[in-house]
Amino acid sequence: MNAAAKFDLTERVAIVTGGGKGIGARVAETLAAAGADIAVAGRHQDTLDAVAAQVRLRGRRALAFRTDVQQVAEVNALVARTLEAFGRVDILVNNAGVNRTGPTLEVTEETWDQIQDTNVKGMFFACQAVGPHMMARRRGKIINIGSIISAIGLGHNVPYAASKGAVWQLTRSLALEWAGHNIQVNAIGPGYVLTDQVRWLFQQPEFAEKILRKQPTGRVADVTDLDGTVLFLASAASDYVNGQMIFVDGASAAGWVGPE
């Protein structure tokens, strides 16, 4: 197989959680453009249907499943319905996530549980649900969406930071356990990405200036900046890459730029 052919996803099937907008929607469209059929999952049926329609415009099959990943039964149903419809799952992209900012002393139990249950518990049980099928076929790609906060601390955002740190440990540990089944488990660690969830923050001049000052490249990411990494980790090109987190952050997590 030549190098270019390794990126072809024709006849592959992918599940993308948190796929109704932002990074998840772009991931679904990127995988479809490479040939994959897509099951997109999230909490809002209207946005899921819109993403599925875009996938079909690319000539691929698509299904949209309203799913709350905090509920294990709904995660299991998502995988079962995808297998029933498509007969296989080759790729799982765990993108569903939530964030709440604020001082640690103001964090409620409800906020903690919502963040951990979405960002960690939902991810774990989605992996568990696809695991037996991938093991039986002796192939599978799992991509977990982490953050640069998987590697560095973040004050006033401790529950979220804790959840993203857990994503990296989940990724590495599961990669070790399932490597013998030819399943690759990797993660992507974006920095700030201009999605609807954060775009409003950059409309505040003081905040935008503060964040941009810390970016070695002088800009934050667009969702398209993740395309290549997503395709690499979903394809045969990464068959010997396992247990890794690739930071797509313009070097933000690498450290601080010193004075010139």
Of 160, 168, 232, 247, which residue is the catalytic one?
160
Res 11: pLDDT: 94
Domain locations along the chain: 7-195+225-246
Q: How far apart are CA 235 and CA 7, in angstroms?
A: 5
Q: Is 160 an active-site residue?
A: yes
Res 258: pLDDT: 65
Per-residue confidence in pLDDT tens, the chain, 260 aa: 899 999 999 999 999 999 999 999 999 999 999 999 999 999 999 999 999 999 999 999 999 999 999 999 999 999 999 999 999 999 999 999 999 989 999 999 999 999 999 999 999 999 999 999 999 999 999 999 999 999 999 899 999 999 999 999 999 999 999 999 999 999 999 998 988 877 777 888 887 888 888 889 989 999 999 999 999 999 999 999 999 999 999 999 898 776 66
Res 202: pLDDT: 80
Is 0.85 topped by the overall pTM? Answer: yes
- Residue 221: what are its φ and ψ, rounded to 5°? -80, 150
| CA nearest to 8, candidates 227, 229, 232 | 232
Torsion (CA) 143, 148, 150, 152 in degrees, nearest 10: 170
Q: Kindly state the DSSP code that residue 224 receives in the 8-state scheme.
A: G
H or E element, residue 186? strand 183-190
- Residue 14: what are its φ and ψ, rounded to 5°? -125, 140
- Residue 53: what are its φ and ψ, rounded to 5°? -65, -40
87's CB contacts (< 8 A; 6+ apart) are: 13
Res 255: pLDDT: 85
CATH number of 7-195+225-246: 3.40.50.720
| CA nearest to 16, candidates 33, 29, 7, 5 | 29
